[in-house]
Structure 1
Amino acid sequence: METVTSADGTPIAYHRTGEGPVVIIVNGALSTAADAAPLADALVDAGFSAVTWDRRARGDSGDARDSIPENEVDDLAAVLAAAGGGEGGAAVLGHSSGAVLALYAASLGVPVGALFLSEPPLSFGVDEAPADLAERLQQLVDDGHPDEAVVAFQLENIRLPREMVDQFRASDQFAAVALLGQSTVYDTRLVAQVSTPTEGMLSVSQPVTVLRGAQTFPMLITASDRLADEIDHAELVVVPESVMHRPDPAATARVVRERLG
């Protein structure tokens, strides 16, 4: 593990493995760098150097009170600068809210290379999460209930069925995810701020590949297809092996290799 300091002084932990062109992986909600290890391994097998990192308020990274989406943009910029990637910038592979962050960062001038955007949860102004959700999640965390913040996020933002959330809460995996309660605030703020992509996001100059599974949540199919349609030079790739918002490591790495050589 290595650490880089973001613009606001927050330490951001990252891991780099493999040799070859650099691909930065940007995780989605309720996940850490460790969760991206299988995807990183597949990228290494495909001839790349893979970088995983803990977004702020996750894993080994730090946090700063009242962080905003632009702070996470700075975090990605810091990881890019530390991990390298050459004059053209490292390729960035973002999944879910990580895809939103990657595209937003590119629109703000962060020097990324090719963009691979996996199932970004963009609503384009339709059926958005409650406007006060981020504030309520923050209050739950402040009151010492990060687990309740995770539950509320899953129910009101991801829109998972109550039965599925209750089943997950009763599982052995929930305790680790409950530690990520603060990060639900940041994911909610990020997606709410750019749920309808800005003009800059739709006019990035980098090559853009939008990936989605053939079987995934309907809103993610709609979002992925629409984003690919609204970015003039974007390519939509349906990955049959990726199922229900889980990118298949080997198949995703294959898509990256085919486009980056």
Structure 2
Amino acid sequence: MTGFSEISSPTSSIGHVASADGTRIALERYGPAVGSDPPLVLVHAAMRHRANDPQTSDLARRVAARGHTAVVYDRRGRGGSGSAPTDPTDERILDREVEDLAAVVDHVGGRAAVLASSSGAVLALWAAASDIGIERLVMWEAPLALEGQGDGGAFLDDLRRLQAAGDREGLIRHYMSGMPPEWLAGLRSSPEWPDYLAVAPTLVHDAAALHEADLRPWSDQWSGVRIPVLALSGEETLPFFPVVCEALAAALPDAHSERLAGAGHGWDADAMTDRLVTFLAG
């Protein structure tokens, strides 16, 4: 999991690592060299990457300005990262994404704290269960169905059929079918819409992480996640996010939930920076 090449700039360094299957994973590092505190790795939500998610990169810069190393990477099939040789419909796509995050953690020294957003938070939880060196985990508004309320895999199966048919807009519409309609309207009217269409096949990855969580009781399948976990939701977010955060806090061995300033599935940058710096310090 080596192969990092770097281009320096005043604020960050950009490079890549090779995942276990050879996929090139692009990343950007902010702040000082790795010190005594674990570096922070930031994991994007569905369809997001460095080029279309300025909120996450801004948070990395803010944390770096407070003296911590922060790394943002493009999940496979997005931005500067590759997708070959793995097919997006691969039954083991969740394992591949965990291996990608493991390669990033390995690059920053083999230990890291992680801040992961939305469906990316569920991916990060699976990665923590795989013991890849994650020492602390912050989950922002994980969009999980509560235990016993899953659909038996129908949502994932539908997305796989749309992916096989090459229906990229259909993928996005179906993935967002349970979200406020103005969220989809905002994407379609944005100049980044062609980019969202380009990365739409990766929605299968996120759906796979969500589906896997439905298969067994949370307290059983995540019993080995004994690191500190902070499940965060916004003060003005959709009602089900705080409920999920509280359920996660109850199911995980060392977790608690909090409400943080933020609305509409987005965090307040100042509040999140302050909370992260405190969390990194233990």
Instruction: State the TM-score, normalizing by the size of structure 1.
Output: 0.89
Cα 1:146–1:130 change in 2 (3 A) is farther
Q: Distance in 2 between matches of 1:100 and 1:61?
A: 20
Aligned partner of 1:94: which letter?
A: A
Question: Which is bigger in relative contact order (C-alpha 8 A, separation at least 6)?
Answer: 1
- Cα distance per residue 1:3-29 (max 9 Å; x no partner): 111112211111111115410001111
Matches within 5 A, 1:206-245: 206-240=227-261, 242-245=262-265
C-alpha deviation, 1:127, in angstroms: 4.1
Q: Could you say which residue in structure 2 is the equivalent of 1:10?
A: 23
What RMSD over aligned residues (CA atoms) do the two structures have, in Å? 2.1
Count of residues paired in the alignment: 254
Matches within 5 A, 1:81-230: 81-84=106-109, 89-128=111-150, 131-155=153-177, 159-162=178-181, 164-166=183-185, 168-195=187-214, 197=218, 199-230=220-251
Q: Distance in 1 between matches of 2:219 and 2:20?
A: 23
Contact 1:108 1:200 in 2 (8 A): no
Aligned partner of 2:28: which letter?
A: H
C-alpha deviation, 1:126, in angstroms: 4.7
Q: Could you say which residue in structure 2 is the equivalent of 1:73?
A: 98
C-alpha deviation, 1:129, in angstroms: 5.2
Identity across matched positions, percent? 31
Instruction: State the TM-score, normalizing by the size of structure 2.
Output: 0.82
Contact 1:141 1:182 in 2 (8 A): yes
Contact 1:16 1:49 in 2 (8 A): yes
Contact 1:32 1:58 in 2 (8 A): yes
Q: Could you say which residue in structure 2 is the equivalent of 1:28?
A: 45
Q: Distance in 2 between matches of 1:104 and 1:148?
A: 27
Runs of 4+ in 1 over 4 A off after TM superposition: none
Of the structure 1 ranges 144-153 and 183-192, higher mean CA displacement relative to structure 2 is found in 144-153
- Cα distance per residue 1:14-66 (max 9 Å; x no partner): 11111154100011112103412111112112221110011111111111112
Q: Distance in 1 between matches of 2:211 and 2:147?
A: 9
